[in-house]
Structure 1
Amino acid sequence: MNILSNSLAAADTATTMHPNTNMRQHERTGPLVIDRGEGIRVYDDRGKEYIEGLAGLWSVAVGFSEPRLAEAAYRQMLRLPYYHTFSSKAHEPSIRLAEKLVDMTPPNLTRVFFTSSGSEANDTIVKMVWYMNNALGRPSKKKFLSRIKGYHGITIASGSLTGLPINHRDFDLPAIPVHHLTCPHFYRLGAEGEDEAAFTARLLAELQSVIEREGADTIAAFIGEPLMAAGGVMPPPAGYWEGVERICRANDILIVSDEVICGFGRLGTPFGCQKYSFTPDIMTLSKQITSSYMPLSAVMFSDAIYQVLADNSEKNGVFGHGFTASGHPVAAAVALENLALIEERDLMGNAARLEAQFQSGLRSFADHPLVGEARGAGLIGAVELVADKKTRKPFDKLGRAGAIAAVIGHDEGLIFRAIGDQLALCPPLIATADDAREIMARMGRTLDRLIDAVAAEGLA
C-alpha cells in the first residue's frame, strides 16, 4: 500500500498541474490521494478516513457512494452515451431535466440553457444579456455589478465577475465592464458605531450611487450569490437583498442569482433567493444538480428574456453560442436521479431541520481564543480566525493560520476549506445529527491544537 501510495503521489507531482494550488508547495508535499467514498466520508489511498466537511467543492448532496446515480449513468451510457443539442436536436434526458428545473425553480423562470460548469453558465449569461441588449437597441447597457469577495467562476467573463484578487492577479482580469461593490460582511466591514441596519442602508446607498454615477442605461445586470460562499461564507445582512431588488427594478437592471452553491437545499430552502426573499430574472445552477457525479450546469431565465433572444436568433439566422456537452444525456440522466433522491429523502428538509444544531455547533466556537466570528445558514458555515478577538485584528501573515488549520484538520480526519483564515464547512445534505456532532468535535480539536501551532510559528 505504501509503495503504491508513493508511486501515485510521485506520478501526480511529476505530471499534473492542480487548480487553486501553490505548485511549488505541491512539488514539496505531494497530493492527498483520495481513493474511495462512503456516505459523507472519503478514504485516502492509505486507508485513512476523513469526514468530507465541504461536500467535495460545496457540491455533493447525496454523499460519495450513491449507487442509484451510478446506475442511472450506466443505463444512459448503454442507451445513448452522447448526443448534442445543437441545430434543434434533442434527447429525452435533457427534455425531462429542463421540465423538472422549470417546475422546481421560481415560477418566472421558464427557460433553460444547459452548460457544464458554473463558469460556463455565467459566461453564457454575460453573452445572453449583451445579445439581448443589442437586440433591444441598447448597445451601451453592458456593465455588470458584482461584489468584492463574490465568486462566479474562473473563465474570462465569469472570472471578471468574481471579486477575489487571487483570481484576477496576473490574469489581466477583470476583462469585461464590471463594477465590484462592497462585500456585505458586517463583522469585517461594518463601521465603528454602525449597527447592521445602518450597514445595510450604507450598502444600498452605495448601489444607488454607483447606478447614478455610471448611468442606469449602461448597467445590464446585478449578479450575486444569495449567501456568499467561496469568498468566506458571508450571509447577507437583514434587508439587503430586498433593497437590492427594489433598486434594480427601479433602474431596469436584471438580477442574476448565482445559486451554484446555495441551490437545491443547501440553505434549507430549495434556492437561496427564496431564503432571502428576492425574485431573480436569471439563475445559475450547477454543483448539487448532479451532486457533482457528472459535470452539468444550467441557466434559468424568464420568458421575457427568451423572446428577445429568439427574435434576434431569427434575425441573425442562429443563436451563435453553445457547447459540445450542452445538455449531455448522461449528465442529465444523473441529474434527474439526483434530484429524485433529494426529493424522496427530503434532503432539503433535512438541511432545514439540522440548521439549528449545525449553526449552534459553529457558534459554540465563538468563545475560542482564535475565533473572531462563527457564521452561516442552513448546512453551510465558517469560523474566522483572528489574532485579536477584541479588535478583530487579522493575522499579519494572512492565510497562514488557515493553512496550518487545514493540515491539523486532515490529521483529525476532517476536510474543510481554508479560505485565507476562514475555515468553511458545507457537509453533504445526507448528514445526520450524529454526523454534525462529530464534525464539530473534530473542528473543536483542530482549533484547540491550532493554539500551540500558531504560537510556535510566532503568529499569535
Structure 2
Amino acid sequence: MTSLPRPNSPAARDIASVLHPYTDLEAHLRTGPLVITRGKGVRVWDDAGREYIDTLAGLWCAALGFDNERLIEAAVRQMRALPFYHAFGGRSHPPMIELAEMLLARAPVPMSRVFFANSGSEANDTAIKMIWYANNAWGRPEKKKIIGRVRGYHGITIAAGSVTGQTINHKAFDLPLPGFLHLRCPTFYHEGLPGETEEQFSLRLAEELEALILREGPETIAAMFAEPVQGAGGVVIPPRGYFEAIQPILRKYDILLVADEVICGFGRTGNYWGSETFGLEPDILVCAKALSNAYLPISAVMVNDRIFQALAKQSHEIGTFGHGFTYSGHPVPAAVAVETLKIYDEIDIVGHVREVGPYFQAQLRERFADHPLVGEVRGVGLIAGVELVEDKETRRNFAPARKIGARFVKHAEERGLICRAMVLDTIGFSPPLIITRAEIDEMLDRFGRALDDLAVALATEREATLA
C-alpha cells in the first residue's frame, strides 16, 4: 500500500487496533496491512478482490491449501461431539489418542509417547524442559546446556527463542539465556573455504562441534536442536555428509538430538520427515504447522522410550509431571490433525512432492540461477530459497539497511505473488504441497517478473546516483 488506508476500512481499523508479529510496527502505522479475506487451493484474495499465489503456504504450513472442506467438516463434527476437554490428571479423549497413535506409527525412528501443545515454539520449549527434567532424573543436574545453530529457528518463547540462532529474536529481548550455545550455520555457500568440498566442510563443522563440547565440558551439554533444513534462516540445506558427521559426536558424549520438523515434516522435503531425507535419528521429534494443515493450532513432541521412562520416574517421585497447557491435545485441533494425516495418506502427498518437487527445483535453477541479482538457488522437494546478492562474483550481500528483500516482496505483491524475505535477502518458497506443475510455472512466471522489476528499479537508482 502506498497511501494511507481510507477511514473505517479493514486496513485502517487494523492500524488502530492490531499489534503484528514480525512487523516494523512504526512503519505499519504509515503503510497498513495487506488484508486477506479468502483462499482457494494455492491462492488467496485481498479485501480489494486482488488474487495472489501464496508461495509460502501461509507460513510454511497450509500443505493442503486454503479451502479443504474435509478439514472444516472434521472440526464441525468434533465441535458438536466434544468441543473441549483437557488432558490434565490423566484425562483423555478419542481424537488425542488416535492422533498420538498415528504419529507414533509414522515416526522416522521408534518413539514412545506424544505430548501435545499449540505451536512449534511451545513444543520446542517443552522439549527443552523435558531434557532438563530427564537429566535430573538421570542424576546429571549439571548436564543442561543446549546447542543450537546460527540462523536456526526453533520459536520465540524465552527458551525456544534462546536456542533459535537469529539476531532479530535476541536483540532487545535480552536473549539468549545463559547455557544456550550456537554452532556455525552449515551454509556452504557462505562458510565453505576455497577449494573445500561439501564433505570436507561437514567434517570441519563436526570438528567445531566436538571442540565446543570439550571446551564447555561434555558433562554440561544436554542436547542439540537441528532443523533438517533451516527454514526461516534462509532455507539452508545441510551440506553432504553433515548429519552423518555430527551424530556420532553427539552419541559419543551422550548428547540428545532434537529434530525440529515444524517446517520439514509431512512431506515437504520429499519424504514424510526431513529426518528421513537427511538421515537424522532423533531422540525427540517436534512437529506442528502442517500437522493440521494449520487450520487449527496444534503441535506435538515425540519422545523415545529412554526419555519417557526418565519423565515417568521423576514425575512419580515428585507426584506429577508439572507441565502442560490448557489446550494440550484440544479435541478439535486433534480431530482436524487426524483428518489431515488421513488425507496425506489417501492422496499420497509424499508421492506428489516426489513427482513435482524435482520439476520445481529444476525450473528455479534454470530460470533464475544466472539472474544478475541471484547469488544462490537452493532447496529440496517443495522448499527452496533464492538469495539476492549485490555481487554474484564475490557473493556479497546487499547492506541490510537497503531492505532489498522487503522491496522485492512489494514488487511481488504487485505481480500477484505473496512472498517472504528472510535472512540475507533470501526469498523463501514453500508452496502448498498440492501445487501442480502448471501452478508452479505460473508462480515462477510471476516471480521472474517481480525480480526483473526490482532489477530495473535498482539500475535506475544507480544511474541517478552516477548522474
**TM-score for both structures, normalised by structure 2:** 0.96
Among 428, 446, 466, which residue is 1:424 paired with? 428
Residue 360 of structure 1: how far off its partner (Å): 0.8
- Matched position secondary structure for 2:9: helix
Whether the 8 Å CA contact 1:113–1:300 is kept in 2: the answer is yes
Q: Which amino acid aligns with 1:413?
A: G
Residue 47 of structure 1: how far off its partner (Å): 0.6
Cα shift readout 1:158-192 (whole Å, capped 9, x = no counterpart): 00010000100000000141110000000011122
Whether the 8 Å CA contact 1:143–1:220 is kept in 2: the answer is yes
Residue 456 of structure 1: how far off its partner (Å): 3.6
Distance, in Å, in 1 between the alignment partners of 2:350 and 2:131 is 31
- Matched position secondary structure for 1:114: strand
- Matched position secondary structure for 2:245: helix
Whether the 8 Å CA contact 1:69–1:334 is kept in 2: the answer is yes
Q: Which amino acid aligns with 1:451?
A: A
Determine the structure 2 residue equivalent to 1:332.
Answer: 334
Identity of aligned residues (%): 52
1:392 matched to 2:395: yes
Distance, in Å, in 1 between the alignment partners of 2:400 and 2:458 is 11
Residue 458 of structure 1: how far off its partner (Å): 4.4
Residue 399 of structure 1: how far off its partner (Å): 5.9
Runs of 5+ unmatched residues, structure 1: none
Distance, in Å, in 1 between the alignment partners of 2:288 and 2:178 is 23
Distance, in Å, in 2 between the alignment partners of 1:266 and 1:85 is 30
Runs of 5+ unmatched residues, structure 2: none
Among 400, 407, 412, which residue is 1:409 paired with? 412
Q: 1:72 to 1:458 in 2, by over 3 A?
A: same
- Matched position secondary structure for 2:320: coil
Whether the 8 Å CA contact 1:5–1:45 is kept in 2: the answer is no
- Matched position secondary structure for 2:89: coil
Whether the 8 Å CA contact 2:236–2:378 is kept in 1: the answer is yes
Alignment of 1:18-37 (within 5 A): 18-37=20-39
Q: 1:271 to 1:123 in 2, by over 3 A?
A: same
Q: Which amino acid aligns with 1:178?
A: F
Distance, in Å, in 2 between the alignment partners of 1:311 and 1:3 is 58
Distance, in Å, in 2 between the alignment partners of 1:397 and 1:318 is 49
Q: 1:176 to 1:328 in 2, by over 3 A?
A: farther
Q: 1:5 to 1:44 in 2, by over 3 A?
A: farther
Alignment of 1:1-150 (within 5 A): 7-150=9-152
Determine the structure 2 residue equivalent to 1:366.
Answer: 369
Whether the 8 Å CA contact 1:157–1:176 is kept in 2: the answer is no
Q: Which amino acid aligns with 2:306?
A: A
Q: 1:6 to 1:193 in 2, by over 3 A?
A: farther
Distance, in Å, in 2 between the alignment partners of 1:32 and 1:269 is 34
Residue 226 of structure 1: how far off its partner (Å): 0.3
Cα shift readout 1:339-360 (whole Å, capped 9, x = no counterpart): 1111111111111111111101
1:443 matched to 2:447: yes
Among 292, 307, 310, which residue is 2:309 paired with? 307
Distance, in Å, in 2 between the alignment partners of 1:176 and 1:264 is 33
Residue 398 of structure 1: how far off its partner (Å): 5.1
Alignment of 1:120-269 (within 5 A): 120-269=122-271
Residue 452 of structure 1: how far off its partner (Å): 1.3
- Matched position secondary structure for 1:126: helix
Distance, in Å, in 2 between the alignment partners of 1:458 and 1:225 is 39
Q: 1:176 to 1:108 in 2, by over 3 A?
A: farther
Runs of 4+ in 1 over 3 A off after TM superposition: 2-6, 456-460
Q: Which amino acid aligns with 1:408?
A: H
Q: Which amino acid aligns with 1:381?
A: A
**TM-score for both structures, normalised by structure 1:** 0.98
Among 342, 345, 348, which residue is 2:344 paired with? 342
Whether the 8 Å CA contact 1:404–1:453 is kept in 2: the answer is no
Whether the 8 Å CA contact 1:5–1:46 is kept in 2: the answer is no
Among 380, 385, 392, which residue is 2:383 paired with? 380
- Matched position secondary structure for 1:257: strand
Q: Which amino acid aligns with 2:172?
A: D
Paired residues, what number? 459
Residue 246 of structure 1: how far off its partner (Å): 1.0
Q: 1:394 to 1:85 in 2, by over 3 A?
A: same
Distance, in Å, in 2 between the alignment partners of 1:15 and 1:242 is 49
Cα shift readout 1:395-442 (whole Å, capped 9, x = no counterpart): 124561111110010011111111141111100011011111111111
Whether the 8 Å CA contact 1:108–1:281 is kept in 2: the answer is no
Q: Which amino acid aligns with 1:369?
A: P
Q: 1:199 to 1:293 in 2, by over 3 A?
A: same
Q: 1:3 to 1:28 in 2, by over 3 A?
A: closer
